[in-house]
Amino acid sequence: MTGALLVGGVSSDAGKSLVVTGLCRLLVRQGIRVAPFKAQNMSNNSVVTIDGGEIGRAQALQARACGLEPSVRFNPVLLKPGSDRTSQLVLRGQVAGNVSARSYVEHREELRQVVAEELLSLREEFDVVICEGAGSVAEINLRSTDIANMGLAQAADLPVVLVGDIDRGGVLAHLFGSVAVLDPADQRLVAGFIVNKFRGDRTLLDPGLEQLAALTGRPTYGVLPYDDQLWLDAEDSVSVVASAQVGHAATPIGREWLRVAAVRLPRISNSTDIEAIACEPGVIVRWAAHPADIADADVVVLPGTKATVADLAWMRQNGIADAVVAHARSGGPVLGICGGFQMLAKWIDDRVESGVGAVQGLGLLDIDIAFEPAKNLRRWQPPGLTGYEIHHGTVTRSAVAPWLTDHHEGAVDGAVWGTHWHGVLDNDDFRRTWLTEAAAAAGRSGFVVAADTNVGGCRTAQLDRLADLIETHLDIDALKAVWEESGWRGSATSPPVIAHSR
């Protein structure tokens, strides 16, 4: 059996995905055959895989870091929230129904078996498998049904390294407390810690890490610095903050900026589509959650959503819908992607996702949408445009021209564009053409699109930047010893148990 490690977190968005991604990239650079694995993910940011399924986008990025095509093997269980209480269950890349928090328990034995089979298969094929936990390892109320954190670690005998985000404050308590609330059997699998997003004088933190080691009997394998240049491929909507700027706007090529407002929908999905626009010099992209956020925008983007009808109702309730329509009626450019595209229609007939039947769309495109029970999963590869489709809604009537003419897909009417394709803006020439047309429609004649922006290259550069941070700031040899047979699990001593009153 080859080596494996579980990178767990003390909270959601602690940095697990980035640590796994960086570790994978570094090991590949060292000539090691490595694969990522997340037993269960809960995210609406997903991609279509090479084997025709659907997985979390973070695992697709991790696969890229490993030099691998995305596969359902890397994320066999995906939960896509459609409301606060229900999620779509995607099993080995295919929809297996909708579950509530309570009904999900009924599937646990089947899911455990699927997870165990996929992880075993990967460990037989690769030198190392770097597993990512889900949320917090300290969710002891969910321990009996856990298949992604300590439940997975126990089942596969995996050592666990915990990641904590010091930028939130209280990281020493989070790391200590996360271990302390675990049962002794789970505690013994926790090998040590990684501190993420540190800024300031490291010598002020070191005494705390020494005390943490004395209290827990576990080392800290390194402290990763805060790096605001790492912003591409956010894991999920936790990282999408209303009114915040996306990325870091570079100086314009021409004499004018182009201001883009991307609506921050409650059930936003595949928010990473927006990042390709934010890579362009002279483009300022901000998340919009109020009508005022759209007032001074040149371009409005409606991104994907897991709940088209519900999020459209939210837009109408808070006034954003009226602001978007007014922007378009005055000639302002609007782009809709997947669920955002569906919102632009005259009518939406949804008896699948929301079950409400026919509702009026924004009416900015003369098309009708109907939701089908079967999900459309398709991955488009070269030659031609690249992208992928993940949607239940389909165009049933169109009185306007298609936007992606070679595929007779999407729709365009003046300065209003829409497509079901995710990732289409990653195509550099296509994106440049669209930005030029959008800027002209917005009256920004002084905006000039860059001729050399390469989104794929930007993502690759971030992967290597992550690997460099991991290599510089973590004790890689000590981490390797954790997952190798000669490591801590094979020694005469094991991490001590922290007594607790539970």
Q: Which helix (H) or strand (E) holds 455?
A: helix 455-473
CA 44/CA 117 separation, integer angstroms: 25
Residues 6+ apart with CB under 8 A from 109: none
| CB neighbour class for 358 (10 Å; exposed up to 12, middle 13-18, buried from 19) | exposed
Q: What is the pTM of this model?
A: 0.91
**pLDDT score for 295:** 93
Domain residue limits, the chain: 3-231+459-490, 254-449
Beta strands in 113-182 (DSSP E): 128-132, 160-165
Task: Check if 407 is active-site.
Answer: no
CA 165/CA 12 separation, integer angstroms: 10
User: Tell me: the pLDDT tens digits for 475-500?
Assistant: 999 999 999 854 445 444 567 888 76
Chain centroid to CA 105: how far?
Answer: 25
Edge-to-edge strands, sheet with 3-9: 34-37, 128-132, 3-9, 160-165, 190-198, 220-225
**pLDDT score for 103:** 79
**pLDDT score for 491:** 45
Which residues are paired to 94 by β-bridges? 91
338, 391, 392, 420: the active-site residue: 338
- Going from the C-alpha of 427 to that of each of 155, 245, 250, 302, 391, the distances in angstroms are 42, 22, 19, 19, 21
Q: What single-letter DSSP state applies at residue 129?
A: E
CATH code for the structural domain at 254-449: 3.40.50.880
Q: Does residue 80 contact residue 46 with C-beta atoms inside 8 Å? A: yes
Evaluate whether 3-231+459-490 and 254-449 have a shared fold: yes
- Supply 110's token pair: 């089947």
Greater confidence (416 vs 501) lies with 416
Q: Does residue 117 contact residue 125 with C-beta atoms inside 8 Å? A: no
**What's the rounded mean pLDDT across residues 142-155?**
95
Which residues are paired to 194 by β-bridges? 163
Among candidates 271, 350, 260, 272, which has minimal Cα distance to 313? 350
**What's the rounded mean pLDDT across residues 282-306?**
96
Q: Does residue 286 contact residue 275 with C-beta atoms inside 8 Å? A: no
Among candidates 145, 216, 116, which has minimal Cα distance to 175? 216
174, 391, 420, 422: the active-site residue: 422
CA 427/CA 429 separation, integer angstroms: 6
CA 485/CA 293 separation, integer angstroms: 55
**pLDDT score for 398:** 98
What is the rounded average pLDDT for all residues in the chain? 93
Task: Check if 420 is active-site.
Answer: no
Residues 6+ apart with CB under 8 A from 144: none
**pLDDT score for 108:** 84
**pLDDT score for 271:** 87
User: Tell me: the pLDDT tens digits for 177-236?
Assistant: 999 999 999 999 999 999 999 998 999 999 999 999 999 999 999 999 999 888 877 655
Give rounded-to-5 percent helix, strand, coil for the chain: 35, 25, 35
pLDDT at 63 over 60: yes
CATH code matching the domain that covers 3-231+459-490, chosen among 3.30.9.60, 3.30.540.10, 3.30.1360.120, 3.40.50.300:
3.40.50.300
User: Tell me: the pLDDT tens digits for 368-404?
Assistant: 999 999 999 999 998 999 999 999 999 999 999 999 9
